[in-house]
Copies of this chain bind each other. A is one copy, B any other.
Amino acid sequence: MADSKWDVVCIGNAIVDVLAHAEDAFLAKHGMAKDSMMLIDADRAETLYEAIGPAVQQSGGSAANTAAGIASLGGTAAYIGKVADDQLGDIFAHDLKAGGIHFGTPRLVGGEPTARSFILITPDGHRTMNTYLGACVELTPDDVSADVVGGGQVLYLEGYLWDKPAAKEAFLKAARLAHHAGRKVALTLSDSFCVERHHQSFVDLVRDHVDILFANEAEIKTLYRTSSFEDAAEEVRKLGKTGALTRSENGSIVFDGDHWHTIPPMPTRVVDTTGAGDLYASGFLYGVTHDLGIERSGHLAAICAAEVISHVGPRPQASLAALLKEIVA
């Protein structure tokens, strides 16, 4: 394999999070499915923003959060995603660059504004997301170059991209470029509703294009139409994939061929689950690109997830590199 410029190249919807606290009754009143991500249009975004309480704004976006986590661990990452030429776009770009992450995707000028996700945190610490995609919709295959994709040991893609045709094409182009360059392709299924919306094409995608699969319990069961987590996991393993499947407070399992490990969760106080899966992926991908082996990579993933759910917001607050020392000591 050729030398790589980055450990991981991440592609995803480039989003600024608008985080507010809300009661469960608020979710019910506004027809939200708790713990899920719903896509909303500009009108709904406006209505919802008027209804929610005071908020904090922070860069988000699933794959971008993963890139931020890898950088915080001391790894290297590049990011491809579309923001507009506006103040939220400035915020998003600043936070990536401040983390040392390469970000060269041209901004959208004269179109929709930068995407935002209204994230409601219920008293139990769970997050429910309402995403207005805005400028993200204009991510196209032209934004994906062989130079950048070929420069990463692993290409990491989020299932959310599958919601828009041009982004889906960009996604497939990136996967082909990565494999052409001898790189690995990793995917997160992102959301069980997202898996449901694109069921068969996700089944095909995983089989044909993915080397490393991330999913939570609901997502993997939805993908393989089963009520058994173990059966769903076995489907992935039989395909010869590396898998990292999370079960929230029950930890996760990681596997690679015949190597199969149960990873206990790290005990922590859950303040806000936003970014849990994203930072889990940071830890695992850092591990596999630094030859830690899948078991230690799984433990590192759990540590990173625990850090991000211990505070409000989807990006790490503590230096993950310091936490990494616990696992490699």
Q: Quick one: which of A7-65 are within 8 Å of B by CB?
A: 20-21, 49-50, 52-59
Measured CB to CB, the nearest residue on chain B to A91 is B57
Type the 1/0 row for A82-98, where 1 means its CB is closer than 8 Å to any CB of B.
00001110010011011
A275 contacts chain B at the CB level, 8 A cutoff:
no
**This chain's copy number in the assembly:** 2
A49 CB contact (under 8 Å) in B50, B55, B88, B94: B94
Contact A54-B99, Cβ < 8 Å, known A49-B94, A94-B49: yes
Contact A54-B315, Cβ < 8 Å, known A49-B94, A94-B49: yes
A68 contacts chain B at the CB level, 8 A cutoff:
yes
Min CB gap A8→B, angstroms: 18
A59 CB contact (under 8 Å) in B50, B54, B88, B313: B54
A113 contacts chain B at the CB level, 8 A cutoff:
yes
Complex Cα distance A88/B313, Å?
19
Count class of interface residues, chain A: 20 to 34
Q: Is the CB of B54 within 8 A of A56?
A: no
Q: Is the CB of B59 within 8 A of A95?
A: no
Complex Cα distance A56/B92, Å?
10
Report B-chain residues with C-beta under 8 Å of the C-beta of A86: 86-87
- Chain A residues with CB under 8 Å of chain B are 20-21, 49-50, 52-59, 68, 86-88, 91, 94-95, 97-99, 113, 313, 315, 317
Known: A55-B94, A86-B86; 8 extra A-B contacts, CB below 8 A, are: A20-B98, A50-B97, A53-B98, A54-B94, A54-B98, A55-B91, A56-B58, A87-B88
